[in-house]
Amino acid sequence: MSGPAPKVIGYLPDERPPIWKLILFALQQILVMFPATVLVALLTGFHVSTTLFAAGFATLGFVLVTRGKIPLFYGSSFSYIAAIVSITGVKSFGELAPDALISQAQFGIICSGLVSIVAGLIINAFGPEKIEKVLPPTVTGSIAIVIGISLAGTALAGAAGNGAEGLLQNKAWLVALVTLVATIVFSVYLRGTWGQLPILFGILVGYAFAAAMGVIDFTKIFDGSIVSVPHFTLPDFSFGPGAIAALLAIMPIAIATIPESTAHLYQLDIYVDHLAEQKGKGPYGIKNRLGWNLIGDGVGDMLSSIFGGPAGTNYGENLSTMAITRNFSVPVIIGGAVLTMVVAFFSPVSQIVNSIPGAVIGGVSIYLFGVIGAQGIAIMINRKVDLFSAKNLAVISTILVIGLGGSYVFNGMIPFFGGKLPAIATAALFGIVLNLVLSIGKKKQA
């Protein structure tokens, strides 16, 4: 006589762990999203504590919009870094941008949220095929490559000490190389839950090495304050030249995060339905909520930018953590969001983060920004893009040259008939229009 069937471990989206487990799981979600989200703030000139508060608040908004059916965490996106920096104008790691420039960037981020919302509404009304015609993988993949590679200069500048010379520059290079190698080793060889934290571990190793090299001023870390209110700013709705420039630079970047967010949703659908089957339940059909997922992303951008947080998307790091732990509980996501907002009010957290040398972040960024570019290649490989097609080559090549050439030669703003066009946004829009024009009269291939 066989014994009882083994208990299935894991939590589905509508299940809630005991409170003590819920808190531990929520803390883990924060730990996973923390390094990348904070890094975006430090690279774009936004305030760290405000960015953390905005990430938690945006996550709650996402959960509310999706009616608690999609367990995904919202965090700051690397895809927007170059566009936001073109508005905030920060030159060095950890430099805070003026409130007026942050406000202009906030306006652009709110407008980028509209792009995701419109895409979601179109999918809900007509199906995903309509979006595919406007944003094929030749466009989205090329834009991802441009976004990642256009940040290469920022990564190397940080690794070299952001203008340091002589001995200080040599120390910066050593710190950056140690950080880079450590991050790569952790990402390749660590497994399980530890394997989801290579960025955090890499930064810790780089920080420890920087401390040993004597390049960290520990006297500035603790100023005696424990609780402080995040620095909130309001969006610039004046529609002045600065706000319009932010709109043109930041808004189109949303088209690059749509395929990323879509891929996360499809991955989540597979994991959740597999666990549901093991528990003897029917499929949850999360993939059928793609439209609402994109609407939630757009609302998240808006809620984040209202307080002064950067643009974001749902986080693959958190999704991977859920897959490994088999914990897809929406209450855990809510708990993590609330705790993130609470952490934002503890000033020692921001002070410790601000003490991280630019060389450490530069070393990590060499890897991270390259991965963004590689993901663009992966999109085209996954979708089997025909690179022998004259049409596809025309779209891909023009996006790459306009986006990368404009980023490096003209610092992200291309002079054009007396005005200036944001390089990445211009490349994206040119590629979209070119693809649509070249598609006229062509039949869809199987």
**pLDDT given at position 192:** 64
The number of beta carbons lying within 10 Å of the beta carbon of residue 415 is: 10
Confidence check: pLDDT of 7 > 60: yes
pLDDT digits (tens, 9 = 90+) for 128-168: 777 778 778 888 788 878 878 888 887 898 899 877 788 88
**What is the distance between the alpha carbons of residues 364 and 158, in angstroms, rounded to a whole number?**
10
Q: Which of 12-16, 109-113, 393-397 has the lowest mean pLDDT?
A: 12-16
Of 325 and 52, more confident: 52
Phi first, then psi: give them for residue 213, nearest 5 degrees.
-80, -5
User: Percent of the chain scored above 90 by pLDDT?
Assistant: 29
Phi first, then psi: give them for residue 313, nearest 5 degrees.
-165, 175
Confidence check: pLDDT of 103 > 80: yes
CB–CB of 84/326 below 8 Å?
no
**What is the distance between the alpha carbons of residues 100 and 264, in angstroms, rounded to a whole number?**
34
- The CA–CA distances, whole Å, from 60 to 163, 267, 286, 300 equal 40, 21, 18, 8
**pLDDT given at position 139:** 85
Structure confidence at residue 29 as a pLDDT band (50, 70, 90)? confident
Q: Which of 297-311, 326-340, 374-388 has the lowest mean pLDDT?
A: 374-388
pLDDT digits (tens, 9 = 90+) for 170-181: 999 999 999 999
Q: Which residues of 261-275 are buried (b: 16+ CB within 10 A; e: fewer)?
A: bbbbbebbbebbbeb
- Report the SS3 class of residue 404: helix
The number of beta carbons lying within 10 Å of the beta carbon of residue 104 is: 28
Confidence check: pLDDT of 1 > 50: no
Confidence check: pLDDT of 267 > 80: no
**What type of residue is 231?**
H
Q: Which residues of 164-187 are buried (b: 16+ CB within 10 A; e: fewer)?
A: beeeebebbbbbbbbbbebbbebb
Confidence check: pLDDT of 56 > 90: yes
Sign of the Cα torsion 78, 311, 356, 94 reads positive
CB–CB of 223/355 below 8 Å?
no
User: Percent of the chain scored above 70 by pLDDT?
Assistant: 94
**What is the distance between the alpha carbons of residues 154 and 365, in angstroms, rounded to a whole number?**
8
**What is the distance between the alpha carbons of residues 166 and 418, in angstroms, rounded to a whole number?**
41
Q: Which of 152-166, 186-200, 353-367 has the lowest mean pLDDT?
A: 186-200
Confidence check: pLDDT of 446 > 50: no
Confidence check: pLDDT of 420 > 90: no
Structure confidence at residue 5 as a pLDDT band (50, 70, 90)? low
